[in-house]
Amino acid sequence: MCNFYRVLSSGSLTILFLLTFAKPCVSQDDGALRRQWQRGFEGLELISQFVELEAINEATFAVARPKETVLVVLGSVERVSVLDSFLSKGGAVLVASDQASGRNAILKYGVKFFGKPVNARFENDGYLSNRDCPVIRRFNKHPSLNGVRSIASNRPGIMFADSLTVIARYPALARVGAPDAFAAAGETRNGGRIIAIADQTIFTNQMITAESNDLFAYQSLLWLKDSDRKYVHFIVDGDYKRHDNVEDMELPPVQLSPDEIREILKQLPAEKLLEFGNQLAADVEDKDLINEFLREQIDGISDYDYNRGMIWALFFGVCVSLILAFLWQKKMLRRTASVAALERHLKSKKLSKFRAIRDRQWAANLLLDSFCRQAEGRGYRDWPSFPEGLSTRPGAESERLFDEMGQASNDFKTKPASYWTQSRLLKLEADVNNWLVMIVMTRGESK
């Protein structure tokens, strides 16, 4: 059943496209051609393609094997003499007729059609509240009705099923006691199958997407096809594909709700969706439908409404511009404040770093000055040639310490303030302590 719905969903979309856009050589003003298209059966033929039935012409049908063929008879059956013999040879027949001409037709296999009007007793049982277009919801179990919720008719007729099994019945009718059979089905001993329906217009392009008509058409053809049949031949009002039934009333096209369209799209296979999208885009482009739609919409607007709309659009544009300008200015102010705060932060950070460097340089100066005062009683700045003139005891160790003093003094005088890192300052402090020990030892020996 899932596959039925998938194929049918694709067919429904394509049929909807045909009914909405693809009306070849039909303009909106040409009512006669439009009605002719709506009463045609191209949608039903398209569904037969999804069932994988190949359409054949009258010449091919004459030589085709009945057991491999489905015969679809729509409208008048009075002149279709081949129907009974075809069914007796094991063929499959879908016959639908409301006998709108008023003439009656009787088939050998127990089906009788009468061209009498049918009216629902209640308005709610009529399609779009038309009592002469009953909506069929009373079903018996049959493969052709699986999942079918309702069938919308269009001025159907009366049918007697006789030996066939009634599978669908009208709702309560205005005429009490009137035959209520709408559709019947049966099988012959030699493998023939038949579905008889009291209204062929349920399969027209206008009605095929109404209610569950498309699903009923699909599953009816699928049941008639069985497993062996691969051809289909259409006879309309006694001729091959002639669509001139003028007795049907014109109904507005069926509109699918957004939820129904979304459900169809979910069930549609990816390749079918792509094929349909490409076909739709091509037809829209070829027929210039978008520009035509825009022209129709613009032409329908009066000068007063157009000017009023332009004024409102201009007012709205000015309001939007002012709001955007206000938000932009506010954003720029926040950005300016942020930049100023960042600059202050960087400046403060840079100043703190400079102070730390200067303090370490000053600490180095204090260490050297403290050593000079303890060693010679004068400050470091008062001893330009430090450490020359410093009295030390002879020996390699004293010479090494003397060289360290000279190097430290030279570093302090020539290196930038950033040279005095924390580690260099600690090393200088340790060196000064060693120098003091040497001075103390030198003076102790001299005494």
Beta strands in 251-374 (DSSP E): none
**204-230 confidence digits (pLDDT tens):** 988 998 899 999 999 999 999 987 899
Tell me how far apart the alpha carbons of residues 106 and 160 are, in angstroms, rounded to a whole number. Answer: 9
Least confident of 220-229, 247-256, 334-343, 429-438: 247-256
pLDDT greater at residue 390 or residue 221 = 221
Tell me how far apart the alpha carbons of residues 164 and 246 are, in angstroms, rounded to a whole number. Answer: 30
DSSP structural state of residue 250: P
pLDDT greater at residue 340 or residue 424 = 424
Q: Are 144 and 167 in contact (CB under 8 A)?
A: yes
pTM flag (> 0.95): no
- Name which CATH class applies to 2-268: alpha beta
Q: What is the mean pLDDT of the chain?
A: 80
Omega before residue 66 within 30° of 0, cis? no
Banded model confidence at residue 428, pLDDT cuts 50, 70, 90: confident
CA distances from 362 to 101, 357, 370, 373 (A): 121, 9, 12, 16
The counts of H helices and E strands in the chain are 12, 14
DSSP string covering 52-65, please? T-EE--HHHHHHS-
Nearest in space to 71 (alpha carbons), one of 326, 183, 89: 89
Which whole number is the average pLDDT over 288-317?
81
**86-117 confidence digits (pLDDT tens):** 888 999 999 998 875 445 566 766 678 877 88
Which residue type, as a one-letter code, is found at position 184?
A: A
Which whole number is the average pLDDT over 185-208?
91
Banded model confidence at residue 27, pLDDT cuts 50, 70, 90: very low
Least confident of 3-12, 281-290, 337-346, 350-359: 3-12
Q: Are 112 and 105 in contact (CB under 8 A)?
A: yes
Ranges of each domain in the chain: 2-268, 269-300, 347-446
Residue linked to tokens 């100066």: 365
According to the model, what pLDDT value does residue 28 have? Answer: 44
A 10 A CB-CB count for 179 gives 19
Tell me how far apart the alpha carbons of residues 50 and 272 are, in angstroms, rounded to a whole number. Answer: 11
Q: Are 229 and 93 in contact (CB under 8 A)?
A: no
DSSP string covering 164-186, please? SEEEEE--SBSSTT---EEEEEE
Which residues fall within 8 angstroms of residue 382, CB to CB, at 6 or more apart? 372
Tell me how far apart the alpha carbons of residues 419 and 379 are, in angstroms, rounded to a whole number. Answer: 22
Which residue type, as a one-letter code, is found at position 390?
A: L
Tell me how far apart the alpha carbons of residues 385 and 393 are, in angstroms, rounded to a whole number. Answer: 19
**323-382 confidence digits (pLDDT tens):** 998 888 888 777 777 777 777 777 777 878 888 888 888 888 888 888 888 888 888 888
pLDDT greater at residue 185 or residue 303 = 185
